[in-house]
Amino acid sequence: MPYRRWTRLGIVAVASHLGYELAVGVGVPGAPRIGVRPAVAGYALATAGAYRTAGRLPGPRGDRRFAAANGLFAAAVISHYASWPRATWHGLPWLVECEGIEGVLIVPYNMVLQVSAVAVVGGLVENLSAWPWALAAGLVAVPALRWLTPREYDRLLAQAAAQPGWWNRRLAIRMRSGS
């Protein structure tokens, strides 16, 4: 039986988040610096490795590593809701626009973030013996992501204007229309 089911769900949710951004045409983090293929390959390899390891490594071995990962997942969710326009929907935070995603496309994106949040809670319980590692990772990552996100988005916009492609088409349209 695989271990760390909630942590594995968190890993899948993060991969889904990045995959959705790529599929709807708002790019992928890191692409402006290293290119879209290397960025996607790096995320895919890291996701596959983390998912496999989380399923095979029993606790308490690996608890620190996966508690820290869950802290990073929590930071990603928190920084999205703290950095982009939002409303509430049935008492839950709900993004109105994020990284060029809006309208009907924001609904699945919000669902992925909500699943990520649930997975974080489950993952923290799974790796409870190492909760300080989750807290430390989150406390470091939230301000870092809040600082990095607008800069990375600006780089993605600049890249979409200079090198439009299928993977950044929504941002390229945004740059052409001047919005």
Question: In three state form, how does the secondary structure of 152-178 look?
Answer: HHHHHHHHHHHCCCHHHHHHHHHHHHC
- Residue-level pLDDT at 179: 61
**pLDDT tens digit at each of 179 positions of the chain:** 578 999 999 999 999 999 999 999 999 999 999 999 999 999 999 999 999 999 998 878 889 999 999 999 999 999 999 999 999 999 999 999 999 999 999 999 999 999 999 999 999 999 889 999 999 999 999 999 999 999 999 999 999 999 999 999 999 998 888 76
Structural domain boundaries enclosing 54: 5-177
Cβ-count burial 146-161 (b if 16+ within 10 Å, e if not): eeebeebbebbbebbe
pTM value is 0.92
Query: How many structural domains comprise the chain?
Result: 1
DSSP 57: -
